[in-house]
Amino acid sequence: MKKLNIELSAWMLVGLFFGAMISAFADAVDSTEADERTTFRVMTYNIHHARGLDDVVDADRIAAVLKDSEADFIGLQEVDRFVERSHRLDLVQEISRSSGLQYSVFGKNIDHQGGDYGNAILSRYPVAESYNHHLTMLHEGEQRSVLWAKILTPKGSLWLGTTHIDYRRGNEERLSNVREFLKVAKEKQQNEPNIPMILLGDFNDFPEGEVHQLMKTGFQDSWEIVGNGDGFTFSSEAPRSRIDYIYLRKGDALKPVKMEIPKTRASDHSPLWLEFSW
């Protein structure tokens, strides 16, 4: 009996060994197939706390827009969590669940009506790390920030940032914000040269403005490369302004392929998505 047990144990070890080998091989095949993917979609969307042009707060309607876009990573602005005006909903979790984008992070800017208000990132792929950087404010008013997330895609790590900067007259504060963006972009490129960066959001500035021109010293404006038409995203009811942007950092291995502005009444802004190759 002892000999039989030893023999059975030996065969079990052999079985476990080959099972592990098969599993490793399958994982390698899956990884290889995943690595073959070379295009992704990213979206920016100021969701106006999920309040549409009909004045109805509807998180599922926002989620449907995201799902229809087939975007892999999404930066959202004007996001509520547990705020009275949006029925105390956690919009991040509600939209993430309904859209099927299971990974999400939130960056709080201010307290509002008993809850939190800020920006969010949703992703089809895991988020390795994230942090919310409060921007330097030169004037009194709403605290602004940029939310950063390092996303683990099948192609490799990617830095995605989403922001919503000040809307008031005078560019002093917006230009200060952009200088902070450029500083971070340069530092990360030096420290992590193989990790590309995308920065998107509501910049409250027009293409001919100083803010946009300063951004282009370190980033590419995707719409200028592959966009068709005027690129207006505000307002969604009567588009007249291009103030929402998707920027790709210069020198990275990302190339714009095509862009689209979906038509929807789910927010006062229209969403904007970019398909890019990597």
Q: For 156-167, write each residue's pLDDT tens digit.
A: 999 999 999 999
Buried b (16+ CB within 10 A) or exposed e, 79-108: bbbbbeebeebbbbebbbebbebebbbbbb
State the alpha helices, DSSP H only, in 141-206. Answer: 172-191
Q: Which CATH superfamily does the domain covering 38-277 fall into?
A: Endonuclease/exonuclease/phosphatase (3.60.10.10)
- What is the arithmetic mean of pLDDT over 196-214? 97
Give 124's strand partners.
Answer: none
pLDDT band per the 50, 70, 90 thresholds, residue 11: very low
Share of residues in the chain with pLDDT > 70 (%)? 87
Give 131's strand partners.
Answer: 148
Whether 10 has a pLDDT exceeding 80, the answer reads no
Does the pTM of the predicted model rise above 0.85? yes
Residue 9's Cβ-count burial label (10 Å; 0-12, 13-18, 19+) is: exposed
Q: Are 161 and 120 in contact (CB under 8 A)?
A: no
> Which pLDDT score is estimated for 36?
81
Whether 33 has a pLDDT exceeding 80, the answer reads no
Rounded to whole angstroms, the Cα distance separating 165 from 173 reads 9
Rounded to whole angstroms, the Cα distance separating 28 from 34 reads 10
> What are the sequence ranges of the domains in the chain?
1-36, 38-277
Q: Are 222 and 276 in contact (CB under 8 A)?
A: yes
